[in-house]
Chains A and B, each alone.
Chain A
């Protein structure tokens, strides 16, 4: 048998054995046996020294061709076996994917905070600055400077908690209009969120504590049309672009003209339901042009400057937005309630 034939026979045998190498370990053994340093193929090369010199290159070529063929076969087989091994691992790794995942528990921001952030963000985007003020407030700021001297009939709309004749729990965030304007001169654009208090009996729609967000813009040439445009933009941003907005006359002693802004009831689409008291409208904020006397009280000339102010209740807005039926839920802090709002 010629060496060529021996090599050919070996190659065939090797390829046959390769087919039976069923895992990576067997493949390693196979490789050692044929392609290893002491493998059969190397044996041919080693035996080449005994061949006549003219045959050597020929045998060399044959051996190298066989090596190439075996290496290629090896690589292919390796890929096949690796894939099979991976598939097997994946198969044995299988789980019941319908089982629940590992629980994640995180906290939540309070729904009132979230609603407040939404309101405040809508106005900061329009250049309003955030201010804050004290909750325990002087009667002077809460009423007197806002055109409500003692005995003013509008005071009867503010059931007031007081500590002494001159110190009250603020009934609205409006005293901050005065506090801001005492310190700052036009142009002014501020938004003041905070807690307010009224000594009212509590029920599903009233609580003695609530939040308010106050807004104030003062400059030359600010008009009622600006007020309407600004607050209509706001209402649609918060409640959706399809909302109808009603703009009507209302009364607050510290504005003139006064305004009430309502949106069409989203619960009944304006047809009338219990929540909107069958009117089809939901009041969301009170507003108006800052009263000239209020401007004068803080040494801003009402002949030169004008402005608008508005106030709204995040509790009421959240109530409407999420269809919550009892305002007392907010400060009861039942986690089963709070976790409903992402």
Chain B
């Protein structure tokens, strides 16, 4: 981010566009203007006044009475500020003017309701100026402090305006400004200065850039007698320039400079420090001023910190240094953390007389690491170094600083400059075949136009000499290129990149410059042509969509939860572990196995979580699902949900985990909605195990696992500590054939009351959950195959049998199905009865059998034969008695 006051920008380029046009144009070019701030647009009825007379207040020692003219009329003004003298020009607020209520801000700050800076402490209070009396004396207008105008935090004195401002002029006309707040991507370091932005404006409007003229009177001692500089680590510091000024007078910097710094959000400190900031904002070179007399041995050494070395920075924090940190040191000790922050000892103080001014170029990556490693906020200097600064700017920066110091703080500037630049960098030269423009941009631009565009951006284009070689201005070197039958020198531009464009190193970068200059808004629109890649389905993605279709049709809502969960949430799943049977030692494979859910050996844990709420990659989705159920049960009486997501398991010896697509399911609450059709929503209408089992059965049937036999087996004791031991099943997929492999796809079951409690759910409510491993499920899915639909009448018969209570209904059903064979299309268990006349310890099961004839009508004999066979088998295998 950089704030650019147009009043400042105008020093370096003519502004020919309105602020809106300027903002829109810069935004298209990549300098995104986030906001156009208009300073002074609400200074209605505030004018330039001149103080004619200052008298004591007759009734109050802490007040004075001013006579202030606006050119037409003289206003009597009572004020508590004592900084004025007769003849001063001040902002005068006439009745009706609206000002920020400074007293209220200060009071609220004192009461702890506001923090500094006050102007950014939320909604601001305003007051309207009215004529009235203060301690018995008429006061007809207000002499205004900076805080009341919103231009700075100063509320101690009245603003004293430039004496050249015409009396009676509106304040907005003389002090108003438009500030562009520009957001800069990391490649735009070059635009972190007024001159940098001016260059972009100039390239956009065809105007010229006028960088500041630098003139220094070098009237002091030769620089070599004052200081020597050595760079020990040129990989981290490519260039270091320094000058010394002696006999400066420390004080506040002039108003114009303070105003400019405040306008861009930098707090004025003293003239020397302000000048370093000002030059950085003006041309982009960060500077650092040292108190010359604190430099031991009159020596600067740029080196890496030594292990164990310590230093105190200007924020008065002590830092333990490591050799990754680049230091500026004198003969004895560190005096600054290079490019990041100065040291406390060598900083410029009120007593400083002599100043050594550093302009250096540091390695961006190292600055980034040091700055972000040690400090919570990135300093303005570091912000620029991180994005890389023009290597040719160190000297200009130091000289510009010296010039301003001499003008503002006085003193004698050393003769000459120390400029250590071990490895001189030559500007980048790029060969740009013009054919790249249509190839990448999809448009053709004539050579002359391209040259003009690049030159507007201060790129130099080499002259093509008659012998086919290229030569740049001020450079004797001749460049030749490989020419071929398809490409001649005419088709190529040889481009020299300005040193401040560190971001341009290859052809593609130049192409972007051409596109920016051509105008992104003028790039044509075309559609992709050419051959399509082979079109193949993404089975997993389509499978997920199929699941969503089936599950939403089954009444479930899709949820999406954070895969980052808390350790507590995982531990909550084991809330009942102590009470269940001891866990088996080998639950086999980690997938969906609850016993591993809290085992750090299987978990991926973040090294830098934002909070413990979200620090582990979930090994199961059950926790997140239960949290969603609990959260929703507070507001709604019915929660049927599913999520398709991933669970994460460490793989031994691999960097990346196994990310397994998983389906999580949960149902809780009432089954049917309250309505006149169902006036009593009773305990029996609550969803339970069988609701979810029904959904899963339906889902698996719809997926068509034709070759696979799906088996629901009661859970093995201890395997599922999160589930109700008597109301849970494991789901197995058994491959065809007698010895077909059986894989565990997942489970469904009601949540153990202890676990429900741990998730703030009602332990008395049935909450049924399940998970299916989609990685295992997907390969089992087969294409549906047509089966003939009979046109003959279907024969249905009911069959009731009595079996022992211990006989699983599923087993009976399976026996019926198997025995009935192909003709028996459907077996529906429609009643279970216990009690008279069924003997104690037994139950009656009633089935409806639907026989579908294949090619001819079924005879009664055929049906009763089948039925006898079924009954016979049931008698033999489960001791059934048949009933009429």
Residues of A within 8 A of B (CB): 99-100, 102-103, 105-110, 112-113, 117, 126-127, 129-132, 134-138, 150-154, 156-157, 161-164, 166-167, 169, 184, 187-189, 195, 197, 199, 201, 208-209, 217, 219-226, 228-230, 232-233, 246-251, 253, 256-260, 277-279, 289, 291-293, 306, 330-336, 338-339
- Scoring A138, A260, A278 by chain B CB atoms within 10 A of each residue's CB, the highest score goes to A260
Q: Does B240 contact A (CB under 8 A)?
A: no
Contacts of A137 in B (CB 8 A): 656
A-B residue pairs in contact (CB < 8 Å), sample of 14: A103-B677, A107-B557, A107-B642, A131-B538, A135-B646, A137-B656, A153-B387, A162-B606, A162-B607, A163-B606, A187-B531, A223-B441, A306-B439, A335-B641
Report the count of interface residues on B (CB-CB < 8 A): 97
Q: Does B526 contact A (CB under 8 A)?
A: yes
Verify B559–A110 contact, CB threshold 8 A. Answer: yes
Verify B675–A187 contact, CB threshold 8 A. Answer: no
Q: A131-B538, A189-B533, A248-B27 are in contact. Are A152 and B523 (CB under 8 A)?
A: no
| Bound CA–CA A201/B609 (angstroms) | 11
Question: In angstroms, how far is the closest chain B Cβ from the Cβ of A105?
Answer: 6
| Extra 14 A-B pairs, beta carbons < 8 Å, given A163-B605, A221-B529 | A113-B560, A127-B528, A130-B541, A136-B617, A138-B655, A152-B365, A161-B606, A161-B608, A169-B564, A184-B533, A199-B609, A223-B442, A224-B442, A336-B636
Contacts of B525 in A (CB 8 A): 225, 228-229, 232
- The answer, among B516, B538, B631, B655, for a CB contact under 8 Å with A132, is B538
| Bound CA–CA A278/B516 (angstroms) | 24
| Bound CA–CA A60/B778 (angstroms) | 83
Contacts of B34 in A (CB 8 A): 277, 279
Question: Of all chain A residues, which has the CB nearest B185?
Answer: A251
Contacts of B682 in A (CB 8 A): none
Verify A335–B186 contact, CB threshold 8 A. Answer: no
Q: A136-B648, A208-B614, A251-B185 are in contact. Are A100 and B366 (CB under 8 A)?
A: no
Query: Which residues of chain B from 668 to 708 have any CB-CB distance to chain A below 8 Å in the complex?
Result: 672-673, 675-677
Query: Contact flags (1/0) for B626-655 with A, using CB distance below 8 Å?
Result: 001001100110111110001010000001
Contacts of B185 in A (CB 8 A): 154, 157, 250-251
- The answer, among A107, A151, A223, A339, for a CB contact under 8 Å with B369, is A151
| Bound CA–CA A333/B621 (angstroms) | 14
Verify A229–B558 contact, CB threshold 8 A. Answer: no
Question: Of all chain B residues, which has the CB nearest A245?
Answer: B525
Question: Of all chain A residues, which has the CB nearest B524?
Answer: A225
| Bound CA–CA A131/B536 (angstroms) | 10
Verify A209–B562 contact, CB threshold 8 A. Answer: yes
Verify B555–A105 contact, CB threshold 8 A. Answer: yes
Q: Does B508 contact A (CB under 8 A)?
A: yes
Verify B560–A330 contact, CB threshold 8 A. Answer: yes
Question: In angstroms, how far is the closest chain B Cβ from the Cβ of A205?
Answer: 14
Question: Of all chain B residues, which has the CB nearest A198?
Answer: B610
Contacts of B386 in A (CB 8 A): 153, 156
| Bound CA–CA A112/B645 (angstroms) | 13
Segment at the A interface, from B546-554, B733-741, B831-839: B546-554
| Bound CA–CA A253/B507 (angstroms) | 15
Residues of B within 8 A of A (CB): 27-30, 32, 34-35, 185-188, 364-366, 368-369, 372, 386-387, 438-443, 506-509, 511-512, 515-516, 520-521, 523-533, 535-536, 538, 540-541, 545, 548, 551-564, 604-610, 614, 617, 628, 631-632, 635-636, 638-642, 646, 648, 655-657, 659, 672-673, 675-677
Question: Of all chain A residues, which has the CB nearest B514?
Answer: A257
- The answer, among B364, B528, B604, for a CB contact under 8 Å with A222, is B528
Verify A223–B440 contact, CB threshold 8 A. Answer: yes
- The answer, among B533, B605, B617, B655, for a CB contact under 8 Å with A129, is B533
Q: A219-B531, A335-B636 are in contact. Are A226 and B442 (CB under 8 A)?
A: yes
Contacts of B673 in A (CB 8 A): 103, 105
Verify B632–A256 contact, CB threshold 8 A. Answer: no
| Bound CA–CA A106/B549 (angstroms) | 11
Closest 3 CB pairs of A and B: A151-B365, A225-B442, A223-B442
| Bound CA–CA A217/B659 (angstroms) | 27
Question: In angstroms, how far is the closest chain A Cβ from the Cβ of B672?
Answer: 8
Verify A107–B554 contact, CB threshold 8 A. Answer: yes
Contacts of A339 in B (CB 8 A): 557
Q: A226-B442, A251-B30 are in contact. Are A150 and B365 (CB under 8 A)?
A: yes
Contacts of A113 in B (CB 8 A): 548, 558, 560
Verify A167–B545 contact, CB threshold 8 A. Answer: no
- Scoring A195, A208, A248 by chain B CB atoms within 10 A of each residue's CB, the highest score goes to A248
Verify A257–B28 contact, CB threshold 8 A. Answer: no
Verify A135–B659 contact, CB threshold 8 A. Answer: yes
| Bound CA–CA A229/B675 (angstroms) | 53
Q: A130-B538, A229-B525 are in contact. Are A195 and B530 (CB under 8 A)?
A: no
- The answer, among B188, B528, B562, for a CB contact under 8 Å with A226, is B528
Contacts of B555 in A (CB 8 A): 105-107
Verify B527–A226 contact, CB threshold 8 A. Answer: yes
| Bound CA–CA A129/B655 (angstroms) | 28
Q: A153-B368, A224-B442 are in contact. Are A134 and B632 (CB under 8 A)?
A: no
Verify B556–A134 contact, CB threshold 8 A. Answer: no
| Bound CA–CA A109/B644 (angstroms) | 11
Contacts of B540 in A (CB 8 A): 132
| Bound CA–CA A195/B659 (angstroms) | 13
Contacts of A229 in B (CB 8 A): 524-528
Contacts of A131 in B (CB 8 A): 538
Contacts of B530 in A (CB 8 A): 187, 219-222
Verify A135–B563 contact, CB threshold 8 A. Answer: yes
Contacts of B608 in A (CB 8 A): 161-162, 199
Contacts of A129 in B (CB 8 A): 533, 535-536, 538
Question: Of all chain B residues, which has the CB nearest A126?
Answer: B528
Q: A100-B675, A162-B606 are in contact. Are A256 and B512 (CB under 8 A)?
A: yes
Question: In angstroms, how far is the closest chain A Cβ from the Cβ of B780?
Answer: 20
